[in-house]
């Protein structure tokens, strides 16, 4: 069984943030590559797709400040040879929820897009062996050089010119030089202890999940999946409250490993302050990877991961506790999912429209899908939790999991939280209340759904084999298509 790394980034193993949407009247694609260390430089790429613009600026805004308390915007630099492409770097000085304000100035005036992201220390740099060896050699040279200076000064400073040191001077020189060596060793030891303490503190500050646990219990004949927050930070009030994203407090995904042949996207309901429950559909028995997406009122989003063993549920009830729950079971999923089209539960077919495009790790891509009738005609899709569709993408070894939407990998709730702060309302209580009242916002529907098409912008973080589930809503039914993708390494792009 592959060990799943649960991190407090918005998604497991997929640090880059991708936003596709509007900055006022302008269509933009924004990619933010967080630094991995804090403070650190984030790389920002902005593609303006439909206008020749005069200027693009980017500004980092921490969740506890407004734009008035943020640094001045930086001007993004046009990338030579690329039309409409701009790049910039921004310092992220603190850990926590940030947003990047991307402002575009052009013929249609000024438009701004808010792109939320997490600023996290997720890695620790180590010193390369040649560099360490060089510094160690320089340190020894300085150590013995300083001792030689102390020795010479002690031995010769009180002697007349041309005089030789007598035994008393020699013993005094040895004593002072030995004392200096002890002092230097104590200083070096103290410096090492200080550095070790700083390193330990940094290690403790590295991104880690809220302690949480997924479990299964039976309520009569009804199997219930429980997601429980068990972290002291949650009970101690050191995190901001949860807010709904796409109308749901939690998006929970269960994937049977290692074949990835059973999949469920569930929406547990709050039982109390720390426990959420959902009726489990009739999934086949086995070991499952569980991923839970959470969004806080600060705009900070996180994904917790766990594993559970699901028992045989053939005799249990299969009723769902939420109308937006959707799943796919092995009866319709071969060991290798189709590369180009997938049969859906209502008899329609989902096609991967650009399946022939080469996918490369680190290179932005847009995955386009279309739902057609069995005869090949277009269908009309309904909004599914504020979006034309939802997707879940995972690497077969479990090292990557992401829940993208047509507007990218950002959390819509995080974006709305920052937008409300931009309007001057910075109270966590009012932000939480407002987002809870207005949890279903269909203004982000990127098309009317009549074409039956949906697309997902994404940057695959590493090469390998991935499975993709695409979920849409038609005639009140949640339909799930499944596809496999092979992602190549960066070096393949030069071949």
Q: What is the CATH number of the domain that holds 413?
A: 2.60.40.10
User: Helix, strand, or coil here: 189?
Assistant: helix
Q: Are residues 304 and 440 in the same domain?
A: yes
Tokens read off for 211: 């302690």
CA distances 177 to 158, 162, 171, 367, Å, are 16, 22, 10, 71
Are 216 and 327 found together in one domain? yes
Q: 401-412, pLDDT tens digit by residue?
A: 999 999 999 998
Q: Is residue 12 part of a domain?
A: no
Instruction: Indicate whether 9 belongs to any domain.
Output: no
**Whether 367 and 290 share a structural domain:** yes
Q: How many domains does the chain have?
A: 3
One domain for residues 182 and 272: no
- 447 and 479 in a single domain? The answer is yes
Q: Please tell me whether residues 154 and 262 are part of one structural domain.
A: no
**319 shares a domain with 259:** yes
Clarify whether residues 175 and 235 are in a common domain.
no
Tens of pLDDT, residue by residue over 413-440, are 899 888 888 877 667 777 777 666 655 4
Same domain, 404 and 279: yes
Q: Which residues of the chain have pLDDT under 50?
A: 1-8, 440-447, 493-495
Say what the pLDDT of residue 332 is: 56
Instruction: Check residue 493 and give its pLDDT.
Output: 45
- Whole domain around residue 103: which residue ranges? 17-119
Please report the pLDDT score of residue 12 as a whole number. 85
pLDDT number for residue 337? 63
Among 173, 205, 237, which residue terminates a domain? 205
The C-alpha atoms of residue 334 and residue 341 are separated, in whole angstroms, by: 12
Residue 446: inside a domain, yes or no? yes
Instruction: Among 156, 172, 205, identify where a domain stops.
Output: 205
Does 234 share its domain with 364?
A: yes
Distances (CA, A) of 99 to 121, 345, 393, 411, 421: 16, 39, 24, 11, 11
pLDDT on residue 338: 67
pLDDT in tens, 2-40: 334 444 456 788 889 999 999 999 999 999 999 888 889
Please check whether residue 10 lies inside any domain of the structure.
Answer: no
Judge whether 393 lies within some domain.
yes
Domain edge (last residue) among 98, 119, 140: 119
Residues 107 and 136 occupy one common structural domain: no
Q: Is the whole model's pTM more than 0.75, yes or no?
A: yes
Angle made by CA atoms 285, 385, 372, in degrees to the nearest 5: 80
**In a shared domain, residues 32 and 90:** yes
């Amino acid at each position: 069984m592959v060990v799943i790394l649960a991190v407090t980034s918005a998604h497991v193993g997929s640090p880059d943030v991708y936003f596709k949407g509007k900055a006022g009247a302008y269509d933009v694609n924004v990619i933010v590559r967080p630094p991995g260390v804090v403070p650190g430089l984030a790389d920002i790429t902005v593609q303006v797709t439909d206008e020749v613009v005069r200027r693009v600026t980017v500004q980092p805004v921490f969740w506890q400040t407004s734009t008035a308390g943020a640094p001045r915007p930086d001007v993004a630099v046009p990338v030579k040879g690329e039309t409409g492409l701009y790049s910039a770097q921004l310092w992220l000085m603190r850990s926590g929820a940030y947003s990047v304000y991307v402002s575009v100035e052009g013929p249609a005036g000024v438009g701004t897009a808010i792109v939320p992201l997490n600023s996290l220390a997720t890695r620790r740099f180590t010193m390369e062996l040649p560099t360490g060896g060089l510094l160690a050699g320089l340190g020894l040279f300085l150590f013995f050089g300083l001792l030689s200076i102390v020795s010479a000064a002690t031995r010769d400073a009180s002697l007349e010119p041309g005089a030789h040191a007598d035994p008393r001077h020699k013993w005094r020189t040895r004593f002072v030089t030995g004392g200096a060596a002890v002092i230097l060793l104590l200083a070096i030891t103290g410096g090492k202890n200080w550095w070790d303490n700083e390193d330990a503190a940094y290690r403790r500050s590295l991104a880690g999940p809220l302690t949480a646990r997924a479990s299964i219990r039976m309520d009569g004949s009804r199997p219930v999946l429980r997601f429980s927050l068990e972290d002291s930070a949650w009970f101690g009030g050191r995190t901001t409250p949860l807010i709904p994203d796409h109308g749901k407090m939690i998006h929970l995904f269960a994937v049977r490993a290692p074949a990835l042949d059973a999949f469920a996207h569930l929406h547990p309901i709050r039982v109390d302050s720390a426990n959420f429950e959902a009726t489990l559909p009739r999934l086949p028995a086995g070991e499952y990877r569980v991923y839970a997406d959470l969004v806080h009122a600060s705009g900070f989003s996180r994904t917790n991961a766990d594993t559970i063993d699901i028992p045989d549920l053939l005799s249990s009830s299969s009723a769902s506790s939420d109308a937006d729950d959707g799943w796919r079971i092995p009866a319709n999923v071969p060991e290798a999912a189709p590369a180009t089209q997938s049969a859906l539960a209502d008899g329609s077919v989902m096609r991967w429209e650009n399946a022939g495009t080469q996918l490369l790790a680190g290179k932005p891509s847009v995955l386009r899908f279309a739902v057609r009738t069995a005869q090949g005609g277009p269908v009309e899709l309904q909004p599914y939790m504020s979006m034309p569709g939802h997707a879940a993408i995972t690497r077969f070894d479990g090292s990557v999991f992401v829940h993208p939407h047509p507007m990218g990998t950002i959390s819509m709730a995080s974006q709305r939280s920052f937008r409300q702060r931009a309007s001057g309302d910075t109270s966590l209580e009012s932000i939480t209340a407002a987002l809870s009242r207005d949890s279903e916002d269909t203004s982000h529907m990127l098309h009317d759904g009549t074409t039956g098409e949906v697309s997902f912008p994404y940057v695959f973080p590493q090469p390998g084999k991935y499975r993709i589930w695409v979920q849409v809503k038609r005639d009140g039914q949640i339909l799930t298509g499944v596809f496999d993708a092979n992602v190549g390494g960066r070096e393949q792009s030069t071949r």
